[in-house]
Amino acid sequence: MDQDALKALEERFSQRLEELEAQLGKLKKAGPQNKLAMVVFSGDLDKAIAAMIIASGSAAMGLDVSLFFTFWGTPLLRAPNKKPGTKDFLGKMFGAMLPQGAAKPKLSKMHMAGMGTAMIKSVMKKKNVATLPELIDLAGELGVQITICEMSMDLMGFTREEMIDYPDLKYGGVAAFVAEAAKSKIQLFL
C-alpha cells in the first residue's frame, strides 16, 4: 500500500472514530443517569420516614435525588410557623384537617388513636433515630431536590407561602417528575 492510500485510510479511520465517540457521548447523555426519582404520595409518618431515609442514603452514596411530593405527601412540607394568606372554604377545611408539617403525621398502621404514633416516636428518640423534620433537613444538606406538585397544592388550597424553607425546593407538575424519572436509573413510589 502506498503512502497516499495509507494516509487516506488513516484519515477515514480517524474521522470514523470521532463520529463513533460523538455517538457514544449522545448515548451516554440519553441513557439513565446515576439518579433516583421518587414520588412521595403518602403522608403517613412511617412511609415518609422511609422515603427520606432512602433519599438521604442515596444522596450520601453519590446519587442525584429528586423527590416529587404529591397528594397526601404535600401537607408534610407545610411549615408549622407560617400563616397562609386568604383561602377559600375548601382550602381552610383541608388546612384544618391535614397535618401542618413533618412533625404532625400519623402512622399508616397501628395508630391507635395516637398511642401508636406516640410510641414509635418515643422508641425513635430512645434509639437515636432522626425525626421526620430532621430527616428533611438532612436531605436538604445532602442536596436532595424536592418538587411540590402544584396541582395537589391547588386541590388542597395550599399556597407557596405556607411551605417549608428548603434549599432546593421547586414547584411543578407531573411533567417535571416524568422528566426527572426518564433520566433516572431508579424510580420509586412511596
pLDDT tens for 9-58 read 788 888 887 887 878 777 667 666 899 999 999 999 999 999 999 999 99
pLDDT tens for 100-153 read 889 888 988 887 888 889 999 999 999 999 999 999 999 999 999 999 999 999
User: What average pLDDT score do residues 154-171 get?
Assistant: 93
Q: What is the pTM of this model?
A: 0.81
Residue 170 pLDDT greater than 80, yes or no = yes
In order of 48, 54, 77, 99, 130, the CA distances from 153 in angstroms are 18, 24, 11, 14, 27
User: In the beta sheet, which residues pair with residue 149?
Assistant: 172
Strand order in the sheet with 33-40: 169-172, 145-149, 64-69, 33-40, 184-189
> Helix, strand, or coil here: 91?
helix
| CATH code for the structural domain at 32-189 | 3.40.1260.10
Q: For the chain, give every domain's residue range.
A: 1-31, 32-189
What are the backbone angles phi and psi of residue 43, rounded to the nearest 5°? -105, 10
